[in-house]
Amino acid sequence: MNDPYAPPPPTLWQRHPQATTAVVVFILTALLTVVSFPPFKMPEFAYAALVPGIFWAYLRPRFKVYAWTLLASQAVAWTIVLSWLHYVTWLGWLLLGPIVGCWIGLWYLAVWWTIPRMLGRPTPVRLLAMLGLAGAWIVVEWSRTWLLGGFPWLPLSASQWERASILQISAYTGAYGVSFVLVAMNVGFAAYAHRLFREGATGFGRRSQEFFLAMFLLLACLSVHVQETFNRLRFTVPLGRVAFVQPYIPQEIKWDPAKGQGILQVLEQTTLAAARTRPDLILWPEATTPWAVRGDATVKDFIESLARRSKATLLIGSIAIERDRQPGEAWYNGVFAIDPVTGLQTSYYAKRHLVPFGEYVPLRPVLGWLSKIVPVGDDFAHGLDAAPLVLSLPGGVFTFGPLVCYEDIYPQLARSSVLSGADVLVVQTNNAWFGEGGAAYQHAANSVLRAVETRRPVLRCGNGGWSGWIDEFGSIRAVLTNDEGSIYFRGTKTIAVARDSRWVNRLSFYVEHGDWFVGVSAGLALFGFLLLRTGGPRPEQSSPGPARVP
C-alpha cells in the first residue's frame, strides 16, 4: 500500500541534474541557432541563441560536460544550416558543418571561464568582462575569413539581413559591429535572467547593468539608422534600367559539350526577352556560357551579336583562356563587358578567391589524386586585380566592381573593389549547385552586409536565384520571383536602379579604415581576461545555491 505521507519520487532533473541540463541546453542552442538564420524569417532569435549556454555557465558546470555539450550543439546546428552542401558533396557537408560549428563553439570555452568570475565583481569589471566576451566572438568571426583558407559564411550579423535598422553601424565597424551588439544582448539577457531566477532579486534590485549596457549598444545602432536613412528619398539619383537574366541552367548539363548549343539558345531567348524592356544594362550570372567567351572565337561572335541585337551593354560571367601564359594556358573564372557597338572589352575581372576543390585542388603535390568538382580544364588561376569595369550607360559612365560566386562573403574583397573605384558592386553567382533550399537566401544575406559596409548598391544575379537589388543601406529594393513567389525559376526582370547621391564618390568609414574594430575587439577580450585573472569570486560573493551543478 502506498504511503500517503511518503515524499514524491525524485524527478529526472533531481536524479540527473547535470545530464538533464546538458540535454536542454544542447537542444535549445542548436534550435535557436538554426532558426536565427535564413531561410527562416525569425532573426529575433539571434538575440537569445547564445543565452542557454551563457546562463548555464553561471551554474558552474564541469568543464568537460559544458564544452562537449556546446561544441556538439554548434556542430549539429551548423551541419543543419549548411545542409544544402550535400547536393554537391555528402562528405564535404558532413565534414564542413561540424568543423564550422566547433570553430564557432570555441567561444563558449571563454564563456565558461568568464561568467563565474563576473559574479560579485564591481559593475565596471562585469561590464568590461561582458564587452570582452563580445570581443572574443568577433575575433573568432574574423579568423573565419582567413584560417584554413577562410569560410566566413553567415556571421551572426547576417541573421539580421532583413532588419536594416540594426545594420547601419556596419558602415563604421564592418558587420562585426552588428555581431558584437547581438552577442552583448545575449550576455545581457542571460545576466538579467540570472538576477531574476538565481539571485532572487526583487523590486529595484532586479536591475542588471549588463542588460542596460546591451540595450544602450542596441539603441546606438538604431540611432545610426535614423541619422543615415532619414529622408533619403530626397537624395535618390538614377543609375539606369538593369535587366537581370536567370537562365537557370541545370548543373548536371552545364558543362556537357553536347548541351552547349541548347544553353546558348536559352541565353539568347532570355536575353532578347529582357531586351524588349529596353534596359541600359543586362546582367548574366557566373560562368554562364558553355565555352570561354575569351578564347573561343565562336562564343565571342555569338555574344557580340547578341549585344548588338539587344542594343544594351551585357555584363556576363564566363571563362577566359589565356594561351600566352607560360607554361601552357591559364583559365580564369571572370566577368566580361560587351558593348553593343565596340564589342567585348579587352579588360575583364578575374575571380580572386577560388573555391577549394571546386575550382582548384589545394596542395596539389600532396592532394593531386583528388579532382575538381567543376569538370573544366585544369586548376583555375587566381585573379589579382580588384579594378572595376568601366561601363558607359545612358545615365553616364559608371564603374562596376564584380564579385564572383561566394566572393561577397569576404568583406576584404568588397572593400578592395570600392577602394579601386567601384561605384556599384555586382555579384554574379551560380547557386544551382545547391538545390532550391536555403543556400541562395543565406548567400544573399552576406551581400546585404557588403552593401551597408561599403555604402554601395549591390546588384545580384544568380543562375536560378537569388537575384535583385540591394541599396546602400541594406534595404532589399527588388527581388526576382515568379508568379508563385519563388526565386527559383528561369526568366528575366528589368528594374530601375537608383543611387544615393550622398555616397557618390564618397567612402564609408569602414572602407577607409578596414577592420579596425577587430583590433578593438581583440583588445577588449584580452583586457577582460587580464582583469578577471586577478582572482575569481570569493565564496561569499557567489549567488545563493550550490556552487556547482552535481
Express each pLDDT in 391-431 by its tens digit. Answer: 998 888 999 999 999 999 999 999 999 999 999 999 999 98
The yes/no answer on whether domain 235-512 falls in CATH 3.40.50.300 is no
Of 368, 381, 380, 453, nearest to 417 (Cα)? 453
Residues 6 or more apart whose Cβ sits within 8 Å of residue 480: 244, 246, 465, 466, 467, 468, 487, 489, 491, 493
In one-letter notation, the amino acid at residue 360 is Y
Residue with cell 556599384: 424
Across the chain, mean pLDDT equals: 89
Express each pLDDT in 483-494 by its tens digit. Answer: 999 999 999 999
Which DSSP helix (H) or strand (E) runs through 272?
helix 260-275
Q: Which range, 134-138, 218-222, 381-385, is most confident?
A: 134-138
Q: Quick check: 350 pLDDT over 80?
A: yes
Count, residues in the chain: 550
Express each pLDDT in 122-181 by its tens digit. Answer: 999 999 999 999 999 999 999 999 987 889 999 999 999 999 999 999 999 999 999 999
Express each pLDDT in 172-191 by its tens digit. Answer: 999 999 999 999 999 999 99
Express each pLDDT in 63-112 by its tens digit. Answer: 999 999 999 999 999 999 999 999 888 988 999 999 999 999 999 999 99
- 219-242 b/e with 16+ CB inside 10 Å = b? eebeebbeebbeeeeeeeeebbbb
Confidence of residue 368 (pLDDT cuts 50, 70, 90): very low
Of 154, 95, 81, 82, nearest to 357 (Cα)? 95
